Amino acid sequence: MSYFLFDNKKVFYNEFGMGTPLLFLHGNTASSMMFFEIVEKYKDNFKVILIDFLGHGKSDRLSEFPADLWFYEAQQVIAFLKEKQYSNVNIIGSSGGALVAINVALEAPQLVSKVIADSFEGERPLKEFTKNVKADREFSKHDDNVRMFYQYMQGDDWEFVVDNDTSAIIRHEKEIGKFFHSELNDFQPDILLTGSKQDEFVSSISPTYFEKTYGEIISKIGHGKMYLFGTGGHPAMLTNPDEFYKISMEFFHAQVFEESN
C-alpha cells in the first residue's frame, strides 16, 4: 500500500494502468472502494489513481473533520498531484468528491485537464438534506445494507467516520455555507456535469433539480456540458456504469455525445 503525507498524516493512494492520469474522488462516508468495479474499465486507457481522503478508508483518522471539509480534501489532492509531479490530470469526482474536484480545478487549474463532476448538490448545501442529516444518519445505522456499505468503505470504526462526517456537514452549513472558495467564472478546465433524474436526494425536491442547478453552474463557468441519466439513483456513475463509462470516454477524448435523455 502507498501513502503520502499531508498535515503529518498518512493519506492512502493506489495507482494502476498506463497513460494520462485519471483521478477518482470519493464521496462522503465512502472511500476509494466505492469505485472498485468501475475503475477496471479505465485501466487500459489511463493511469488510474485512487485516494482515500484523511479520515476515510485506509488513510489516517482525524479526531474531527474540519467544517470546510471539501476544500480541505481538495488541498490534499493538490498536495498529492504536486508531490507526484502530475499535470494535465483528468478527474472524476462523485457526490462530495465532485465538490472536491471542482475545488481542485479552481485552486490549481494548471494541474487539471478535464473534470467530470457527478451527482452533487450545487454551489451551496441543500437545506432539505442538512436539516435532517443527523436523524437520517442515525436511522441509516440500523439498515443492514447501509451498515454493510459503511463497514465495507471504512472498516470496523465506520460509525466514528460517519458521525465525524455528519458533524462536519452540520457545521459547514452554519459556519461557511458555500462549497467553493473561488468564483466559478474563474474555472478553466473542460467540465462535464452528470446526474440521474431519479437521484433520491434531489428528485423529491424537484424533478428538474439537476437541469436547473447544473445549468446555472455552467452559465457561471461560461463553458461545459451536462448529461443526465433517465434512470438510476445516487450516484449516477455507479447506477449507470456502462453508459457513464461510454460518455466519460467520449468526453475525455473530445468526441461528441448525444444530448441528455
pLDDT greater than 60 at residue 4: yes
The CATH number of 2-252, from 1.20.58.110, 3.30.1330.10, 3.40.50.720, 3.40.50.1820, is 3.40.50.1820
Separation of alpha carbons 59 and 75, rounded Å? 15
**Looking at residue 1, what is its pLDDT?**
76
pLDDT tier, 257 (very low <50, low <70, confident <90, very high otherwise):
very low
pLDDT tier, 256 (very low <50, low <70, confident <90, very high otherwise):
very low
What strand order describes the sheet that includes 46-51?
2-6, 9-17, 46-51, 20-25, 89-94, 112-118, 190-196, 225-229
pLDDT tier, 255 (very low <50, low <70, confident <90, very high otherwise):
very low
Separation of alpha carbons 109 and 95, rounded Å? 21
Mean pLDDT throughout 117-138? 93
Mean pLDDT throughout 63-78? 98
Mean pLDDT throughout 175-179? 96
Q: How far is CA 3 from CA 6, 8, 11, 186, 254, in A?
A: 10, 11, 5, 32, 33
